[in-house]
Chain A
Amino acid sequence: MNTSFLRVSVWVYLAIFFAYLLGPLVIMSVTAFNSSEFPRATPWECLTFDWFSALFQDQRILNGIKNSLIIGLGTVVLSVAMGLAGALMLTQIWPKLRATYYTIIIAPILIPGVVLGISTLVFWDRINRFLGLGADSFLSNGIFLTVIGQSTFIASYCMLVLVARLQRYDVALTEAALDLGATHAQAFRKILLPFMRPAIASAAVLAFLASFENYNTTTFTFGEYPTLTIELAQKVRYGITPAISALAFIIVVLTVFFALLNEAGIKRKEVVAAARRQATVGEMTGKVRLPGFFTGNAAAVVLVVFAIATISVVGTATVYSPAQCIADVKEQKRLEAEKRIQELRKKREEQRKQREAEQAEQGEAQQSAPKPSNNSGFGNVFAPNTLSGEGEDDAPETDTDEQPSGGNGGFGGAFDPNSLQSPSD
């Protein structure tokens, strides 16, 4: 009985854990399809794909993607090269220096990204001044600085990935190649590099992702070339829209897609390797057929289902129009707003009456004691200023609802959390 209780609690724990881990991403993805102006999953308004088109019309986002790609490419090249050199050096450095050297090349992982960004900026600015170059020189270029700054620590990640593989490399292989007449460069290219290829690929992917999502370092170095992450941060900090959810959704989908693809590829290699081991030489060539791709390969099956789902969703998106639904919701909102306004008016009417009555009373009282009003506890609430303020808050909402041409954009302020505060009171 104890074990079954334990097992249940393990699964409950796992469920909570993965809910914490994946829940936010799922909810964020869902908000990309809700027509609500503010990204949220509840209340659900209308299924819409408009946020995607809004996303693809955003020049800053597109420009950010372009910059991110350029910087990512530069970072991949530089950090994989430095990481590989660093790893090679680590395997053959003088033993007395090894600990120091390792500490130096591992340190950038632990140094806060902010610090790396600042030190890069300060250092290259100095070099630039030292060389007597202007503010528009290559050394103060945002792309250069960002690549340099990011590579400082991304190269450490690459080094760790590469050194793990390099430790399994038999130096005798290089020696054998040399012994058979190869030059050092040939031995590197023909023996070491092919051996390292899987690790280099992993390191490159890792480097690209790290570069693509880096914020802390880039935020100090980007200069005139904001990356996607920088643009996103700007947007998220100063007002959020479901277009960002749409972008997040795309990234989530791509990530899942590539993860599955990778998984399926690994599985396939295992299947092929198993087949090779069993096959004799004659059978081997051309025996691995495509359907073999799926045998015992759950990841591949999921991958295909996933691809089909994506295609059908995109297909739906091209024909689906949420206009009717949005109009309905808008109508409903208008009605609600009107109702609220009515209520408000009624309330205001009552208040006015009440106040008039009070004033009448006070007016009598004032005659005997002419003192400023609003002394009473609820005085402020009924002050004319307060009332007009409330009225102003309502105004934009009423306006947009009565302006059919306002379109989606018009909702803006109404669903801003701050604006919502007062009506919901």
Chain B
Amino acid sequence: MSAGVGVDLENLWIRFGDFVAVRDANVNINGGDFFSFLGPSGCGKTTILRAVSGFLEPSEGNVLIGGNNMKGIGPNKRPTALIFQNLALFPLMKVWENITFSMEIKGASSAERRKRADELLDMIALPDQGDKLPSELSGGQRQRVAIARALCAEPDVLLLDEPLSALDLKLRQHMRTELREIQKRVGITFIYITHDQGEALTMSDDIAVMRAGVIDQIADGKTIYNDPSTAFAASFVGENNVFRGKVKQVMGSEALITTNRSGDLVARISTANQGKMKEGDEAMMFIRPEAFAIAPDGATGDHFVTASVTHEEFEGNVFNIFTEGEGGKEIKVSIPNLGQSFESHTGQAITLEYETRNAVIVPAGELAAE
């Protein structure tokens, strides 16, 4: 348990009839890591989790836990514990009975179970709540009970299926920190499923971005944010402005693309696609709202964009300026609020400036739905 047990997915395919839920997934999760699968609902991430926990037999390929092939091993024999999306606390059992259910199965005495339950309740900061029913706890408390119940089984791998989605925003942010701390303390591998990029970015060592059954990119959070390898990853994680166009010229790790609206712009080719893109390819360029600055009027060049402002909003920490983008989409520009006086640009044309390293080019592809 100290070093943690790794999980490997090898050429994993999962089909339901004609529908392919997971297409050729290959993932190596290091022992002791906090690993997230990030993707919109219906992308197959929960299916992967169910294959790891043993509720689903893969159609093809293998799930390895700690190097052991799990084929034919049922969920009750795998060293995994799953925290369900709705937590699935047993409604008729008291909190302490819920937590120590895995011990009851093994025939532990009631005294032993109580003792262990008290330890775990202390750990999750819910002392003296053991005799309540789950329905008598608040959402956050139930969340922690579910974690304690899973940990009581002493799994090598803890699987979490969007466990925070039912909580309100404040609690969700608090539980992120708490989950990460618990993971560090127990040192086992966590596999976390979420559609919330904030959760994935704040907690994970590594993230796999999934789209329609396919894993687009596996990397740590910074890499995914700064150096996405597909259009989907770029548009799904964080806010991003997209510029469509054709590659005009490849210059080593950079390229010049002819955009449909804003003329020729220069940007960096994302690491995964370097050497793969050539002139004439359909491409997409992504620039984050915070990567723009307002340039002096009349500036021109391959890292300037001119557009007219449609509206503005003040969000507190930033000013957002929206200008006409392509295909009905707006270009969003976020200027940090540093106390500067801010004049309205609505209705005017402005010139925006970016640095080449902050703009990334990927092959044209499917964008994440808003």
Taking the complex as a whole, does A directly touch B, i.e. does some CB pair lie under 8 Å apart?
A: yes
Question: Which residue numbers of A lie inside 8 Å of B, CB to CB?
Answer: 170, 172-173, 175-183, 186, 190-191, 194-195, 276-277, 281, 284-285
Return the chain A residue nearest B82 by Cβ.
A179
Q: Does residue B263 face the partner (Cβ distance < 8 Å to A)? A: no
Chain B residues with CB under 8 Å of A175's CB are 55, 75, 82, 84, 88
Asked if B106 contacts A181 (CB within 8 A), the reply is yes
Whether B84 lies near A177 (C-beta < 8 A) is no
Q: Is there contact, CB below 8 Å, between B90 and A173? A: yes
Asked whether, in the complex, the Cβ of A180 is within 8 Å of the Cβ of B149, the reply is: yes
B84→A180 contact, CB < 8 A: no
Contacts of A179 in B (CB 8 A): 53-54, 75-76, 80-82, 153
CB distance from A342 to the nearest CB of B (A): 79
Chain B residues 141-175 with CB under 8 Å of chain A are 149-150, 153
Set of chain A residues within 8 Å of B80, measured between Cβ atoms? 179
22 residue pairs bridging A and B, Cβ less than 8 Å apart: A170-B86, A172-B88, A175-B88, A176-B90, A177-B90, A178-B55, A178-B74, A178-B76, A179-B76, A179-B153, A180-B105, A180-B150, A180-B153, A181-B77, A181-B102, A181-B105, A183-B105, A190-B101, A190-B104, A194-B92, A195-B92, A284-B131
Contacts of B71 in A (CB 8 A): none
Which residues of A are found within 8 Å of B75, using beta-carbon distances?
175, 178-179
The smallest C-beta distance from B19 to any residue of chain A, in angstroms, reads 14
Q: How far is the CA of A84 from the CA of B238 in the complex (A)?
A: 50
Contact B102 A180 (CB under 8 A): yes
CA distance in complex: A263, B105 (Å): 36
Contact A285 B131 (CB under 8 A): yes
Report how far A170 CA is from B76 CA in the complex, Å. 18
Chain A residue at minimal CB-CB distance from B152 = A180
Decide if B128 is an interface residue (CB 8 Å cutoff).
yes
Query: Does B181 reach chain A (CB closer than 8 Å)?
Result: no
B91 at the interface (CB under 8 A from A): yes
B132 within 8 A of A: yes
A383 → B minimal CB distance (Å): 83
B129 contacts the other chain (Cβ, under 8 Å)?
yes
User: How far, in Å, is B278 (CB) from chain A's closest CB?
Assistant: 49
Q: How far is the CA of A293 from the CA of B333 in the complex (A)?
A: 67
User: When A and B form their complex, which 3 residue pairs have the shortest distance between CB atoms, in order from nearest?
Assistant: A172-B88, A176-B88, A180-B102
> Which residues between 89 and 137 of chain B lie within 8 Å of chain A, taking CB atoms?
90-92, 101-102, 104-106, 128-129, 131-133, 136
What's the Cα separation between A324 and B21 when bound, in Å? 89
Given contacts A170-B86, A172-B84, A181-B77, 19 further A-B contacts (CB under 8 A): A172-B88, A175-B84, A175-B88, A176-B88, A177-B101, A178-B55, A178-B76, A179-B53, A180-B101, A180-B149, A181-B102, A181-B153, A182-B76, A183-B105, A186-B105, A190-B101, A191-B90, A281-B132, A285-B131
Q: How large is the interface on B (under 10, 10 to 19, 20 to 34, 35 or more residues)?
A: 20 to 34
Q: How long is the Cα–Cα vector from A173 to B90 in the complex, in angstroms?
A: 6
Q: Contact between A170 and B88 (Cβ–Cβ < 8 Å)?
A: yes
Cβ of B129 and Cβ of A281 under 8 Å apart? yes
Complex CA distance for A36 and B128, rounded to whole angstroms: 69
Give Cα A413–Cα B149 distance, bound, in whole angstroms. Answer: 77
Contact of A276 among B105, B136, B150 (CB under 8 A): B136
Q: Please give, as numbers and ranges, the residues of chain B lying within 8 Å of A276 by CB-CB distance.
A: 133, 136
Partner-A contacts on B (CB < 8 A): 53-55, 74-77, 80-82, 84-86, 88, 90-92, 101-102, 104-106, 128-129, 131-133, 136, 149-150, 153
Taking a contact as CB atoms under 8 Å apart, the answer to whether A281 and B131 are in contact is yes
B80: nearest residue on chain A (CB-CB)?
A179
In-complex Cβ contact of B82 among A176, A182, A190, A191 (8 A):
A176
A179 to B88, CA, bound (A): 11
Q: How far is the CA of A161 from the CA of B101 in the complex (A)?
A: 29
With known contacts A276-B136, A281-B132, A181–B76 Cβ distance under 8 A:
yes
Q: How far does the alpha carbon of A406 sit from the alpha carbon of B104 in the complex, in Å?
A: 72
Residues of A within 8 A of B90 (CB): 173, 176-177, 191
B159 nearest in chain A by CB position: A179
| Chain B residues in 8 Å Cβ range of A284 | 131
Tell me, rounded to whole Å, the shortest Cβ–Cβ distance linking A386 to chain B: 79
Separation in Å of the A343 CB from the closest CB of chain B? 77
Contact in complex: A195, B153 (CB < 8 Å): no
Q: Which residue of A lies closest to B81 (CB)?
A: A179
Residue from A173, A179, A181, A190 whose CB has the most chain B CB atoms within 10 Å:
A179
Docked CA distance A177–B53 (Å): 12
With a cutoff of 8 Å between Cβ atoms, the chain B residues found around residue A194 in the complex are 92
Query: A residues within 8 A CB of B104?
Result: 190
Report Cα–Cα, A349/B336, bound state, in Å. 129
Q: How far is the CB of B47 from chain A (nearest CB, A)?
A: 14
CA A281 to CA B150, docked complex, whole Å? 24
Residues of B within 8 A of A181 (CB): 76-77, 102, 105-106, 153
In the bound assembly, the distance between CA atoms of A172 and B105 in angstroms comes to 18
In the assembly, what is the distance between CA of A281 and CA of B75, in Å? Answer: 35
User: Which A residues lie within 8 Å of B74 (CB)?
Assistant: 178
Residue of A nearest to B55 (CB): A175
Contacts of A277 in B (CB 8 A): 136
Q: How far is the CA of A193 from the CA of B361 in the complex (A)?
A: 58
CA distance A281 to B133 in the complex (A): 10
A170 to B88, CA, bound (A): 8
Most buried by B among A181, A277, A284: A181
In the complex, what residues of A have CB within 8 A of residue B88's CB? Answer: 170, 172-173, 175-176
CA of A191 to CA of B101, assembled, Å: 10
Instruction: Say whether B153 contacts A176, CB under 8 Å.
Output: no
Tell me the smallest distance from the CB of A232 to a CB of chain B, in Å.
Answer: 41
Known contacts A179-B75, A181-B105; A195/B82 CB under 8 A: no
